[in-house]
């Protein structure tokens, strides 16, 4: 147990014993420093830990006060606040097992990270590919290396401009899907051993990337509907001085949360103030159910510090592996990392997407896709209400295709994953989204596939398994 | 100056002064340890350095002897033996500038890393793409994620089997070109701070990859026709204990050297004995001018320690970005690194290459390609003889499309690169192939483009610039 954890435990014991009552003001950080002979940072971390547990709360310019205990679940939403200790991003084998199960056509894909490939205009894309394959300019293998096909970059930039965001074609680098873009951006702004602030829970791909590059993750409490806690991030920045921050502001995976614009603006301003680059994963941005596309954090970037990444994989062309980065002031670094690691992105595929975007049809496809996903969302929510037991909590996301489901306390998502898979149903267990395997009673469900009698039966099966009260063991997810 | 370098300088001075004569035996390592109070490792490194400079030579089971001075150039070939100090893999901006110049169609591409795109069957490849784009199986976006399209892996494996090398389709991972394969294999077997043995000179992509991943390079003297010096590598392994070795046994870039089979076997046996994985870059293997494809080192791998990488980029489909790895015992690690970093390789492009390989034509194309390159080689060699000054040394490679040209002493390849580029001619200067910018009077020339009057004039220009005696400065390549 670290010093700040010991200090936090002592204070918690003191409050538990009744020596301090709800509403009592805690000693100032300075007082504790003097009385205990510890550093301000230790006190700050201890207080933050207690705050994260809901035992104390900060009031602006006034100090910390004892709360009346952790808030009731409904009020604080689903995000389980976590101690912000720095952890390695190791989440073991489990994410790969979840990906593996996506390949199996006889498994109901609630755990899949991908929407149904049947939702995409593959025939039209195929025709675009046919068109560009009939008259090939041989020199494209050279000219379309990183940063990539100029026409495609222009189409992508135009979509930003249509949303009022200033992105020039020359600000973009085409990548092998968004994962590649994120990976390159991460390499551009960090070095091994650095600390990166991530959401809690986080996209497991982010945790894996941190692990690949020898980085440490520091988790930032994240609200299930409004996204990352910017005030918490500010304290974490002060304590851990992360080198970068990796966030998914729109329809976050796995929560489905979306940051309001004002919060995005505050996030960008905070990080700009500290000179910390923000890696923004916006792959679900086009899958909104509201009236307009939510702005990316990039829209508020005044200093070139937002490395914005997205792709066509979730909204147009799964399997084509075409994504992009708008890396701001890190553009040249990202272009060179891309040249050095794979020269560029497949030339015919870049050309085919540019050709598809040249014709009208993308927006119509997107409208249909959003309608389908919206209908699927409500169908799955209704099925959850029918089959999952009382005590299950789920929020209604405004975009994307994931539901974050908090099961009754004591249910073990890892054990549920194993039993469900044996019964032909995949789910994504909460612990894969967390470096220390938290969120054990949470699961992520995918509503991006057509609702069928098999899906209905699968939900019923999940309900039965949960009702049987799975408590499981943890050994098999050890890293 | 490090301790071993000081010791080497002292001994060299002693020999220079005439106190020791050619044929004299040097004191044993043990004697020097005792007399000078230094470690055996220091003495060993000093002796190795002197040996690399041609001042002393080891006789098996007998010790070190003073030579009659460095051997004449013709006998020792072009590879300048280098001190084996561990360096970071930083080669500055220059490789990127050389890549950039490849994009400019008005520059004569002697410095390009790529053969002419006109040498490839792009129309046939386009037809294969048309065929597979007309009937798309939507589920391929899921099934063809890493390790990749099963049919394509089967075609690749069959080509190995035809050469008597046991590679099963399930041993392969499809990647975004060979660079991606090499990058993933490197990540699979190293961690930041590790040391990797590379050829001297080395493919600059290898040096860049080492730098990206926080690795150190240790250079192994490499013979310009027979490749890496296995005995030198053995000593380097003893001193530096590298975590991996990254080598191009066939038609090495930039030397054009090819290891004889016995040497490949000895290399694989040495590394297996020490448990060191060998990352093999075999992208030029199909571009042989002899009667049959030279074996890859993988052919001698009995322990799954050779991570063999190749691609279609140099022999069939530039710009498609389709390569592969046969990573031996590291297969699962590489698959997972690929899944985590970009999920997989573009699905339609994998399918198009499988379709192309399904039909006959690849071998016919390869035969034509080899004939063209062979003719180009001799044309460029003749042009060099016509235009470059006396004192220029160049070997005749038996495959690939690079000539390694050693210019007269005192010529500065960096300055030549700059002046030549201003005159519309690109070259690849020797220092980009070396972590400490050695090989300053060497250049790599590409004969993979049609010989035209412009090319002839370009060679004449090079000759004039060299005759003008470029000695240049080094500042502008500082990392």
- pLDDT on residue B349: 97
Q: In which band, very low, low, confident or very high, does the pLDDT at B378 lie, cut at 50, 70 and 90?
A: very high
Chain B contact for A214, CB < 8 A? yes
Q: Are B219 and B199 in contact (CB under 8 A)?
A: yes
Contacts of A96 in chain B (CB under 8 A): 336, 339
> Of all residues in chain B, what percent carry a pLDDT higher than 70?
90
Percent of chain A with pLDDT over 70: 90
The answer to whether A244 faces chain B, any CB pair under 8 Å, is: no
Q: Which of A98, A109, A28, A128 is nearest to A361 (CA)?
A: A128
Residue that wins the pLDDT comparison between A334 and A12 = A334
**Is-contact B190 B170, C-beta < 8 A?**
no
Contacts of A351 by beta carbon, 8 Å cutoff, 6+ apart: A132, A140, A144, A149, A151, A152
> Residue B85 has what pLDDT?
40
pLDDT(B364) > 90: yes
Q: Which of B112, B119, B142, B316 to mutate to test the interface with A (most CBs of A within 10 A)?
A: B142
- Chain B contact for A322, CB < 8 A? yes
**Tens of pLDDT along B419-441?**
999 999 999 999 999 988 899 99
Distance of alpha carbon B233 from alpha carbon B231, whole angstroms? 5
pLDDT band for position A77 (cuts 50, 70, 90): very low
Which chain B residues have a beta carbon less than 8 Å from that of A136?
A: 122-123, 125-126
A313: closest CA of chain B, how far (Å): 9
Give helix then strand counts, H and E, for chain A: 17, 15
Q: Strand locations in B13-153, DSSP E?
A: 56-59, 63-66, 87-88
A223: confidence class by pLDDT, cuts 50, 70, 90: very high
User: What does pLDDT average to over chain A?
Assistant: 89
Pairwise CB contact (< 8 Å): B340 & A209: yes
> Is residue B99 within 8 angstroms of chain A, CB to CB?
yes
Q: Measure CB to CB from residue A321 to each of B102, B320, B346 and give the nearest one.
A: B346
Whether residue B225 is predicted with pLDDT greater than 80 in this model: the reply is: yes
| Confidence (pLDDT) at A30 | 73
> In this complex, do B141 and A340 lie within 8 Å of one another by their Cβ atoms?
no
Q: Does B238 touch chain A (CB under 8 A)?
A: no
> B176 vs A127: CB contact, 8 Å cut-off?
no
pTM to 2 decimal places: 0.82
Residue of A111, A346, A426 for testing the chain B interface, max B β-carbons within 10 Å: A346
B/e letters for A181-215, b = 16+ CB within 10 Å, e = fewer, are: bbbbbbbbbbeeebbbbbbbbbbbbbbbbbbbbbb
User: Does A122 reach chain B within 8 Å, measured CB to CB?
Assistant: yes
Cβ-based contacts under 8 A for chains A and B: 173
For residue A102, give the nearest of B136, B140, B142 by CB distance.
Answer: B142
In B, residues 157-196, which contact A (CB 8 Å cutoff)?
176-177, 179-180, 183, 187, 191-193
List chain A residues with CB under 8 Å of B102.
142
**Inter-chain residue contact B341 with A140, CB threshold 8 Å:** no
Angle at Cα A216 formed by Cα A212 and Cα A218, nearest 5°?
135
Average pLDDT on B245-252 reads: 98
Please tell me the least confidently modeled range out of A20-24, A314-318, A320-324, A392-396. Answer: A20-24
- Tell me the per-residue pLDDT of A117-153, one tens digit each, with 9 for 90 and over: 999 999 999 999 999 999 889 999 999 999 999 999 9
Q: Could you report the per-residue pLDDT of B174-217, keeping only the tens digit for each?
A: 999 999 999 999 999 999 999 999 999 999 999 999 999 999 99
Asked whether the predicted pLDDT for residue A416 surpasses 90, the reply is yes
Chain A, window 325-344: residues with a beta carbon less than 8 angstroms from a chain B beta carbon: 336-337, 339-344
Whether A307 shows a pLDDT value over 80: the answer reads yes
Three-class secondary structure of residue B340 per DSSP: helix
| Closest to B439 measured CA to CA, from B422, B447, B424, B427 | B427
Residues A341-383: pLDDT tens digits? Answer: 999 999 999 999 999 999 989 999 999 999 999 999 999 999 9
Residue A117 sits at the chain B interface (C-beta within 8 Å): yes
Q: Rounded mean pLDDT of A3-23?
A: 75
Mean pLDDT, residues A375-395 taken together? 95
CB pair distance less than 8 Å for A103 and B336:
no
B127–A129 C-beta distance less than 8 A: no
Chain A residue numbers touching B216 (CB-CB < 8 A): none
Spatial distance between the Cα atoms of B367 and B117, rounded to a whole number of angstroms: 16
Q: Is the pLDDT of residue A201 over 90?
A: yes
Tokens 């793409």 belong to residue: B129
Domains with residue ranges and CATH for chain B: 3-66 (1.10.10.10), 72-79+88-118+364-478 (3.90.1150.10), 121-361 (3.40.640.10)
Residue A54 predicted with pLDDT over 70: no
Rounded CA separation A301/A264 (Å): 10
Q: Which residue among A120, A142, A321 sits closest to B343, beta carbon to beta carbon?
A: A321
Which of A351, A440, A434 has its CA nearest to residue A151?
A351
**Residue B65, pLDDT score:** 80
* pLDDT reported for residue A86: 44
User: Residue B79: which of B197, B252, B268 has the closest Cα?
Assistant: B252
Please compute the mean of the pLDDT values over residues B89-113 and round it to a whole number.
82
According to the model, what pLDDT value does residue A154 have? 97
Q: Which residue has the higher pLDDT, A343 or B479?
A: A343
Q: Closest Cα of chain A to B46: distance in Å?
A: 33
Higher pLDDT, A12 or A384: A384
CB-CB: which of B114, B212, B339 is closest to A187? B212
| Distances in whole angstroms, Cα of residue A1 to Cα of each of A9, A12, A55, A91, A122 | 10, 15, 19, 22, 54
The complex scores an ipTM of 0.81
Tell me whether strands B195-200 and A216-223 are parallel, antiparallel or unpaired.
Answer: unpaired
β pairing state of A216-223 and A402-406: unpaired
Q: Do A134 and B126 count as a contact with CB atoms less than 8 A apart?
A: yes
Cβ contact (<8 Å) for A346 and B320?
yes
**Quick check: A81 pLDDT over 60?**
no
- CB–CB contact B343 A209 (8 Å): no
Q: B349–A349: do the CB atoms touch at under 8 Å?
A: yes
pLDDT digits (tens, 9 = 90+) for B115-171: 999 999 999 999 999 999 998 899 999 999 999 999 999 999 999 998 889 999 999
Q: How many residues does chain B have?
A: 479
For chain A, say whether B103 makes contact (Cβ under 8 Å): yes
Nearest residue to B388 via CA among B446, B472, B460, B456: B460
Rounded to 5°, the CA angle B40-B46-B52 comes to: 130
Nearest-by-Cβ selection for B348 from A114, A144, A320:
A320
Which DSSP state fits B105?
Answer: T
What are the pLDDT digits (tens) for A106-126? 899 999 999 999 999 999 999
B141 in contact with chain A, both atoms CB, cutoff 8 A: yes
Residues of chain B contacting A177 with CB distance shorter than 8 Å: 342-343
Residue B139 has its nearest CB partner, among A105, A134, A345, at: A105
A72-to-A47, A65, A75, A99, A416 alpha-carbon distances in Å: 20, 18, 6, 35, 26
Which DSSP letter does residue A401 get? S
User: Which chain B residues touch A125 with a CB distance below 8 Å?
Assistant: 136
- pLDDT for the residue numbered A17: 67
Contact A295, A247 (CB under 8 A): no
């Amino acid at each position: 147990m670290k010093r700040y954890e010991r200090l936090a435990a002592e204070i918690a014991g003191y409050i538990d014993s009744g020596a301090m009552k709800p509403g009592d003001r805690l000693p100032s950080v300075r007082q504790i420093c003097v009385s205990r002979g510890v550093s301000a940072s230790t006190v700050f971390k201890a207080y933050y830990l207690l705050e994260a547990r809901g035992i104390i709360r900060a009031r602006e310019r006034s100090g910390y006060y004892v709360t009346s205990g952790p808030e009731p679940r409904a009020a604080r939403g689903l995000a389980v606040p976590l101690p912000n200790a720095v952890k390695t991003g190791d989440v073991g084998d489990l994410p790969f097992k979840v990906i593996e199960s996506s390949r199996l056509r006889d498994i109901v894909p609630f755990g899949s990270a991908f929407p149904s490939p049947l939702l995409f205009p593959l025939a039209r894309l195929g025709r675009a590919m046919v068109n560009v394959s009939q008259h090939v300019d041989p020199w494209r293998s050279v000219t379309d290396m990183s940063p990539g096909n100029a026409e495609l970059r222009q189409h992508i930039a135009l979509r930003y401009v249509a949303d009022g965001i200033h992105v020039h074609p020359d600000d973009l680098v085409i990548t092998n899907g968004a994962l590649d873009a994120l990976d390159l951006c991460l390499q551009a702004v960090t070095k091994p051993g650095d600390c990166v602030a991530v959401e809690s829970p986080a996209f497991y791909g982010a945790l894996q990337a941190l692990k690949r590059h020898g980085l440490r993750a520091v988790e930032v409490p994240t609200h299930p509907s409004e996204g990352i806690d910017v005030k918490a991030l500010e304290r974490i920045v002060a304590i851990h001085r992360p080198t970068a921050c990796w966030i998914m502001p729109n329809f976050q995976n796995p929560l489905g949360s979306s940051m309001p614009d004002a919060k995005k603006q505050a996030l960008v301003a905070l990080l700009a103030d500290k000179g910390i680059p923000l890696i923004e994963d916006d792959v679900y941005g086009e899958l909104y159910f509201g009236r307009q596309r939510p702005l990316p954090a990039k829209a508020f970037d005044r200093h070139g510090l937002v490395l914005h990444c997205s792709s066509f994989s979730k909204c147009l062309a799964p399997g084509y592996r075409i994504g992009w980065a708008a890396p701001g002031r890190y553009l040249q670094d990202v272009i060179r990392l891309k040249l050095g690691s794979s020269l560029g992105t497949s030339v015919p595929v870049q050309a085919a997407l540019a050709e598809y975007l040249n014709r009208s049809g993308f927006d119509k496809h997107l409208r249909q896709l959003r309608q389908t996903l919206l209908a699927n969302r409500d169908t799955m929510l209704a099925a959850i209400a029918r089959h999952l037991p009382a005590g299950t909590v789920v929020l209604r996301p405004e975009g994307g295709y994931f539901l974050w489901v908090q099961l009754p306390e004591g249910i073990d998502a890892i054990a549920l994953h194993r039993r469900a898979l044996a019964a032909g149903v995949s789910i994504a267990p909460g612990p894969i989204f967390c470096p220390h395997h938290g969120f054990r009673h949470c699961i992520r469900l995918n509503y991006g596939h057509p609702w069928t009698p098999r899906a209905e039966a699968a939900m019923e099966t999940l309900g039965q398994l949960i009702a049987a009260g799975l408590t499981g063991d943890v050994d098999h997810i050890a890293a």
